[in-house]
A and B are shown apart, each in its own frame.
Chain A
């Protein structure tokens, strides 16, 4: 089945620093790709998604581009804030009504 490999953290950045969290995938066909965010004590929220090659998903200043050539979907943000401190998960679907396949998550801490 499909799989995803995600950069492991933790990652600690100063406020306004540039963020990159790497994600690469192995998949049959060209499934949608997702980034989820989990704030402390909460469930997961969809941060952004891309449904086909070369699509760029964006939300709250975060971006990720679906790269078919490098099978990657790296998450980026130009200037992080303390409120971005959370765990970020890269994910993609397998076939059918099955659970998404998740990376192990990357914990981001942003310090003022």
Chain B
């Protein structure tokens, strides 16, 4: 089945630095990828929709200058947490849906392994 690979799985960075998280679709082309944030013991919170070749669409309340998204190819989207602070510490997950003959209307989503970001 389709695979989405996310790296790194875990990162610790100093406050004020930037961290880049990569999300790759390994055996299918993903024109759209989705980035989520998950707080401990909570559900997924959609942050943004990443569109290949165009600007990302951010959910209300998500700072686009803080969370930079680039989707330069059909298989790679990146999320950069800029000037990270301890409150940015969280679990970040990417996702993509594969196209079937009828588009994505009824296809499942595939998820990366997640990235645990800790800002110290």
Contact = CB atoms under 8 A, between A and B. Distances in A.
B106 to A, nearest CB: 4
A43 B113 contact: yes
A107 B34 CA distance: 23
A61 interface: no
Interface string A81-94: 00000000101010
B105 A31 contact: yes
B37 to A, nearest CB: 13
B53 to A, nearest CB: 14
Interface magnitude class on chain A: 20 to 34
Given A43-B111, A99-B49, A93 B105 contact: yes
A59 interface: no
B106 A31 contact: yes
Contacts of B107: 32, 93
Contacts of B44: 44, 89, 102
Interface magnitude class on chain B: 20 to 34
A111 interface: no
B6 interface: yes
B43 A43 contact: no
Given A31-B106, A32-B106, A97 B41 contact: no
Interface string B80-120: 00000000000001010100000111111111111010000
Interface of B: 6, 31-32, 34, 41-44, 46, 49, 93, 95, 97, 103-114, 116
23 contacts: A31-B105, A31-B106, A32-B106, A32-B107, A41-B114, A41-B116, A42-B113, A42-B114, A43-B93, A43-B111, A43-B114, A44-B95, A44-B109, A49-B108, A93-B105, A96-B103, A97-B31, A97-B97, A99-B95, A99-B109, A100-B109, A104-B43, A107-B41
